[in-house]
Amino acid sequence: MVTIGNRIFTKFERPDPKVVEMFRGLPSSNINDEMNRLFCMHDYIRLMNPACSRPLLGTAITVKAPIGDNLFFHQALDMAQPGDIIVVDGASGCNRSLAGEIMLRFATKKGLAGVVVDGCLRDLDGIEKLDMPIYAKGITPQGPFKFGPGEVNTPIACGGQVVFPGDILVGDPDGIVVIRRQDAEVVAQAAIKKKASEDKTFELMEADLAAYAAKHKATTEKRFTSAGGEVPQFGSYTELYKL
């Protein structure tokens, strides 16, 4: 048999930490809007410890795990550096957990920026107390096997997104967005502008509701008419159908 599917890659390029920092404080939604709204993980990847004081922001180190087996996840935990996020493709399996409080507490103590698992975890009571963002599909007390095979630091699928080692992940209570290292600077700049524009919208709404309402109406009308049509406005549904 060839080694494909049973490999640990020790080297990959991490983004410049200054570029990672550009994303701090930016909502996942604003970032994804600036990438044509296509790079968020599925909603089933949920934040398991909402009391955590910091949002998810860091660099992906990836694991491809067979359903219900976490040997390569343990390996990634040994390899991960402060600021890394371990991102696990557990093939969405939820019959067994892929980590529990011991692994996740160790990850927290190592200074990792987070853990994201497309699969299940266990020990929710303990996880909820950890101050490192932890995302997963669900919880089951049934533990994992530790036989492999698996891969570390290859492109994986997690929550419906391809994740490369070295990608930047940003997560908040909404969910997680994935940004390629090579795209990061230009995306961060655009998302910073987007957030500033949304902040102005909130300011206007608070200061002058009538002005905001007029602006909203004009924008909505423009959306209809710029597509070449008109606002398809009718009177009463029941009158039209003589109900």
Ligand X SMILES: O=C([O-])CC(=O)C(=O)O
* Residues binding ligand X (CB under 6 A): 70, 99-103, 122-123, 143-144
Q: For tokens 């004081």, what's the residue?
A: 53
Give the shortest CB-94-to-ligand X separation in angstroms: 15
Residue 237 CA to its chain's centroid (Å): 42
Helix then strand count (H, E) for the chain reads 8, 11
Is there a contact between 110 and 80 (Cβ–Cβ < 8 Å)?
yes
CB neighbourhood size of 52 (10 A): 19
How long a stretch of residues is the chain? 243
Nearer of residues 144 and 166 to ligand X, judged by Cβ? 144
Give the shortest CB-96-to-ligand X separation in angstroms: 9
Q: For tokens 């930490």, what's the residue?
A: 17
Q: How far is residue 239's CA from residue 243's CA, in Å, rounded to a whole number?
A: 6
Nearer of residues 39 and 73 to ligand X, judged by Cβ? 73
Is there a contact between 91 and 114 (Cβ–Cβ < 8 Å)?
no
Nearer of residues 89 and 101 to ligand X, judged by Cβ? 101
Give the shortest CB-122-to-ligand X separation in angstroms: 6
- Residue number of the CB closest to ligand X reads 100
Nearer of residues 61 and 177 to ligand X, judged by Cβ? 61
Give the shortest CB-121-to-ligand X separation in angstroms: 9
Task: Give the residues across from 109 on adjacent strands.
Answer: none
| Residue 182 φ/ψ, nearest 5 degrees | -70, -25
Pairing of strands 134-139, 114-121: parallel
Nearer of residues 101 and 167 to ligand X, judged by Cβ? 101
CB neighbourhood size of 221 (10 A): 12
Give the shortest CB-144-to-ligand X separation in angstroms: 6
Q: For tokens 């990959």, what's the residue?
A: 12
Nearer of residues 89 and 123 to ligand X, judged by Cβ? 123
Give the shortest CB-77-to-ligand X separation in angstroms: 9
